[in-house]
Amino acid sequence: MPVHYSLAATELRERLRSGDLTPTAIARDVLAAVAAEDNRHQAWISRAPEGAVLARAAALEADPAARDLPLYGIPFAVKDNIDVAGLATTAACPAFSYIPEQNAAVVQRLLDAGAVCIGKTNLDQFATGLVGARSPYGICSNAFNPEYISGGSSSGSAVVVALNLVSFALGTDTAGSGRVPAGYNNIVGLKPTRGLLSTSGVVPACRSLDCVSVFALNAEDASAVFQVARAYDDTDAYSRQTQPSLHLPAGGFRCGVPRRDQLEFRGDGESERLFYAALKRIEQAGGTLTEIDFAPLAETAALLYQGPWLAERLAALGEFFTTHYEDILPVTREVIGGAAKYSAADAYQAAYRLEALRRLSMAELAKVDVLAVPTAPTIYTIAEVEAEPFKYNSTLGHYTNFVNLLDLAAIAVPAGLRNDGLPNGITLIAAACSEPLLCELGDRLHRASGLAMGTTDYALPPPPASWRDVSGDAGVRIAVVGAHLSGMPLNSQLSERAAVLERTTRTAANYQLYLLPDTTPPKPGLVRCAGGGHAIEVEVWRMPVEHYGSFVAAIPAPLGIGTLTLEDGSTVQGFICEASAIAGARDISAFGGWRSFLQRR
C-alpha cells in the first residue's frame, strides 16, 4: 500500500518540526510502501538495505543539531548512473557495474543536508534514450498506465516520485531526460544550468553537456533541493561559479512560443489542446505571448543525435564499448556506434554550425523572458516504441535536445490530464541561472492547472512567501581593490546594500595598480596588462542582485566595473580603470595591494 500521506518535502519539513512525524516513522512508511509496490513498474534497480535506511534515520533523529538541516529526514532516490557509496552503479548495464567507495559530490551534499537515500533507479542504458524502455532491468512503465512509456532516460527516478515513494529523486539530463519523464508522470522536472550541480561521481553520457536534474512533486521542493545540491566543485572540470540569478519580473513578463506553423504534435490533438490551455494560464499569470522563430532551435536540437556529438558518448565509454560490445543492448550499441562515421573535421564543422545557430537562437530568445514549449510532442505505448525504437525516441527530443547545447535552464511542469487519463506537460526555458524565475512561473502554472501531485490525490502545499534565491550563492560577486575595502572610506557603499565579505584573495598575476591623482578619497586604479604584471590583493564581496545596479551607477569615471580573473582562475565582477587615466600615474603594483601601500608609503 502507498504511503498514506504526502511526501512533498515542504509538508514533511513542517510535520517533522512539529513532532507529528519523525525520520524513523517516515523511513518505515516509505520502506513498507516500496515493498508493497513490489517494483511492478520496474522503476528500481537496487535499494539500500532496510537496516541501513533505518539506522540513518535513527542517527538523524538522535542528533539535535540535525533537526535544523534543510532536508532533515527527507527520503530520496538516485538514478543509477550516479554514485552512492556501497550501492552498485550499473548505468543499466550489468557488465559495467561497480561499487563506489564514496558518494557522488551532489549525493554527498544531499546527505549532509539530512536526506535519507532509499535506493537507485532504472534508466535507459548509459542514459541514452528518452523512452525508458532501454534497460536490461526491465521497461520502466508509466505511473498512470503501464501500457505507456514513462519517458527516459531518468525513467525510474520520475516514476518513484510520481508514486509518492520518495519526496524527490536525482536524474541526469543531457538531451531531455530530466524533463520528458516529468511530463509523462505529472511531476516537476528541473534541469538546472550546466555546471551548477557537480557531475563528479556521475557516469558521463556527453560530459560537456551533462546535467544532474531534480524530480519533485512540486516546484518549491525542486527549488529547495537544487539550492542545497548546487556548489562549485574543483574536482569537476565543468563546474562553474554561480552567476547572478534571474527572477520573474515583478510586473508582466514576455513569454515566447514557437510560431503556430512550427509547433509539432505528431497529430496528437490532446497534446495540442492541453498546450494551448497552458498558454492561456501563462497569460492569466501576467505573461504576454510572443511568437518566435523556432527554426534555429529545432536545427540545434537535431545536431545532438544527428551529428558528431554522438562521438562524445562513445568517448565516455572508451574501451568498454569494444571489449563488452555484446553486453550492451543492441539499440544502445547502434546509437552510440553511429559515432564511428564522424571525423574530427565533422566535429569542427558541427561546432561552427552550432555557434551560428546559437547567434540566431539567442537573437530570438532575447525578445522574451522565457520560452514555453510542449515537454514532448506526444506519448507512445511501450509496444510502439519497441516496434520503432529510433523513430519515436527521436520525436521525443524535438523540444528538449537544444537546451544544453545553448546553455539554457529549463523546468517541466504538469499541464493537464488527457482524456485518456495520461499526464501532459509544458516546459519553460530561460537563460542560464534562471532557476528562480523558472520555478516561480512553473509553480504558478502547476497550481492553475488544478492537478494533484503525481499519482496521488494530494493538493499542492501553499505557495512560498518568496522565490528569492536564498542558497547563499545568490548575488553578484564584486572584487574591490581600494577605497571600498573593509575599514576604508567607501566601504559603507557595500554594507548599506547588504553586501557580505566572502574572502580576501588576489588577482591573477597580470594586473598593475596605480595611484590615481586628484581623487577624494584617494583611490587606486587597477589595469590588466598584456604581459608581466602582479597579483594584487582584493576583497570579494557578495551583493544582492537588486542592489547591484545602484552600486555600479554611483562609480565615477575613470573607474568602472569589469570582469577580473583571480589567482585561482575564477572570474568575478570587479573594479577596473580606464587605461587613459594612468598616464603619468604612480605605479604602486610592487606593494601588492592598496592596504599595503597605505601602510608603507
- Active-site residues, by number, are 79, 153, 177
Helices (H), 318-343: 320-323, 330-337
Q: Which three cell numbers stand for residue 319?
A: 574501451
Q: Which three cell numbers stand for residue 214?
A: 531534480
* Residue 403 CB coordination number (10 Å): 29
CA distance 208 to 217: 29
CA distance 177 to 152: 5
Give the SS3 label for residue 257: strand
CA distance 433 to 195: 10
202's CB contacts (< 8 A; 6+ apart) are 81, 82, 83, 104, 106, 172, 210, 212
Label residue 244 exposed, middle or buried (CB < 10 Å: 0-12, 13-18, 19+). middle
Q: What is the DSSP string of 272-289?
A: HHHHHHHHHHHHHTTEEE
Q: What is the DSSP string of 528-561?
A: E-SSS-B--EEEEEEE-HHHHHHHHHTPPTTEEE
Q: Which residue type sits at 591?
A: F
CA distance 490 to 493: 6
| Residues facing 445 on adjacent strands | none
Cα 581 to the chain's mean position, in Å?
A: 43
Taking alpha carbons only, the member of 576, 572, 570 closest to residue 511 is 576
Give the SS3 label for residue 423: strand
Q: What angle do CA 314, 317, 323 make, to 5 degrees?
A: 105
What 8-state DSSP symbol labels residue 470? Answer: -
Q: Which three cell numbers stand for residue 3?
A: 504511503
Label residue 525 exposed, middle or buried (CB < 10 Å: 0-12, 13-18, 19+). buried
CA distance 543 to 183: 36
| Residues facing 47 on adjacent strands | 119
Give the SS3 label for residue 221: helix
Dihedral, CA of residue 265, residue 270, residue 271 and residue 273, to nearest 10? 100
Phi, psi of 59 (to 5 degrees): -65, -40
Phi, psi of 189 (to 5 degrees): -125, 115
